[in-house]
């Protein structure tokens, strides 16, 4: 039997509990950098700069994977995210001593404090239109001292070429023991944005079969939610959400960064020293505030 949970205004409300497993899948199957590799890049960038880094704010912090990695390396961290469900997972990971703030960008509360560096890992900025990127960069700049840095990653040109087909929707699926996913990727006619319709099927009941039988039953489920292969007593909950992404061209980021006092703006290939190119899957930006 299948039931459906309504789509939520928070596109991560239904995803939060399984997010960490999806992050591992993105690392192994979609070439996303592991958080440890990201932290290595950040630490080297900060250590070779002219500004000491101790206090770090992560915006779009999600379940706290990056915050946890930086905490282990001795940094004092604060996390900000718009999703209560993701922040709940972050709280479980990080404990009561880490400051976590619920806010939707470009809003960064003044009481968050001042920071030596701001980061955003795993493509959170792709959810922001150009006007919201502009306002967020202004908010970040106000938090940073001269020489302070902002590092973030977004989907690069290679990612959009690989995942989105402007001529037709593209469908991908992932199957785990108790959760399965179907993603449908579509491109706006004018290319202004890219939509990912996200369906998650989570096994809510206790069935009598093993993992192989669960997988067979899930594949047999038809559009009405009638799984011919499901064992008696096994139930599934389907949730559906829409994730809308925006491309961030290099010239746009540089123009907005300069407007808000970031005199250095470099883009790298997926947390490496190599420059971003036309086939780069993940752009990693390093911005530095004017030291004058």
| pLDDT at res. 209 | 35
Provide, for the chain, the percentages of residues in helix, strand and coil under a 3-state DSSP scheme, each rounded to the nearest 5: 30, 30, 40
Mean per-residue pLDDT, 258-274: 97
| pLDDT at res. 154 | 97
Topology of 31-156+248-289 in CATH?
A: Rossmann fold (3.40.50)
Mean per-residue pLDDT, 268-291: 96
**pLDDT band for position 188 (50/70/90)?**
very high
Give yes or no for a contact between 56 and 117, defined as CB atoms under 8 angstroms apart. Answer: yes
Q: Tell me the percentage of the chain whose pLDDT exceeds 90.
A: 76
Instruction: Give me 117's structure tokens.
Output: 């560096």
Give yes or no for a contact between 148 and 289, defined as CB atoms under 8 angstroms apart. Answer: yes
pTM (predicted TM-score)? 0.86
Mean pLDDT of the chain: 87
Residue 282 makes CB contacts below 8 A (sequence gap 6+) with 31, 32, 33, 123, 153, 154, 155, 156, 159, 269, 270, 271
| pLDDT at res. 232 | 56
| pLDDT at res. 226 | 39
Mean per-residue pLDDT, 16-35: 94
| pLDDT at res. 231 | 54
Where does the chain hold its CATH 3.40.50.150 domain(s)? 31-156+248-289
Give the tens place of pLDDT for each residue, 192-249. 999 999 999 988 754 333 333 333 333 333 333 334 345 556 788 899 999 999 999 9
| pLDDT at res. 211 | 35
Q: How far is CA 69 from the centre of its chain?
A: 16
Give the tens place of pLDDT for each residue, 136-183. 999 999 999 999 999 999 999 999 999 999 999 999 999 988 889 999
**pLDDT band for position 9 (50/70/90)?**
low
Report the distance separating Cα 111 and Cα 292, nearest Å. Answer: 25
């Amino acid at each position: 039997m299948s039931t459906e949970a309504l789509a939520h205004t928070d596109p991560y409300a239904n995803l939060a509990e399984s997010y960490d497993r999806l992050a591992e899948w993105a690392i192994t199957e979609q070439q996303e950098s592991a958080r440890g590799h990201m932290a290595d890049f950040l630490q080297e960038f900060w250590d070779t700069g002219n500004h000491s880094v101790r206090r770090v704010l992560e915006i779009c912090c999600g379940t706290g994977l990056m915050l946890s990695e930086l905490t282990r390396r001795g940094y004092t961290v604060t996390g900000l995210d718009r999703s209560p469900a993701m922040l709940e997972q972050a709280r479980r990971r990080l404990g009561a001593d880490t400051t976590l703030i619920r806010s939707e960008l470009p809003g960064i509360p003044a009481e968050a404090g001042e920071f030596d560096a701001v980061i955003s890992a795993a493509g959170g900025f792709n959810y922001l239109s150009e006007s919201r990127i502009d306002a967020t960069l202004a908010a970040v700049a106000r938090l940073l001292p001269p020489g302070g840095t902002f590092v973030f990653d977004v989907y690069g040109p290679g990612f959009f070429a690989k995942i989105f087909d402007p001529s037709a929707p593209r469908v991908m699926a992932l199957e785990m023991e108790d959760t399965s996913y179907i993603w449908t990727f579509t491109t706006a006619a004018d290319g202004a944005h890219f939509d990912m319709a996200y369906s998650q099927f989570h096994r809510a009941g206790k069935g009598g079969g093993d993992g192989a039988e669960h997988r067979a039953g899930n594949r047999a489920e038809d559009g009405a939610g009638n799984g011919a292969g499901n064992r008696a007593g096994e139930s599934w909950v389907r949730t559906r959400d829409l994730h809308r992404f925006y491309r961030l061209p290099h010239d746009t980021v540089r123009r907005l960064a300069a407007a808000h006092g970031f005199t250095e703006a470099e883009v790298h290939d997926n947390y490496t020293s190599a420059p971003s190119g036309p086939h780069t899957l993940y752009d990693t930006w390093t911005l530095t505030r004017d030291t004058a």
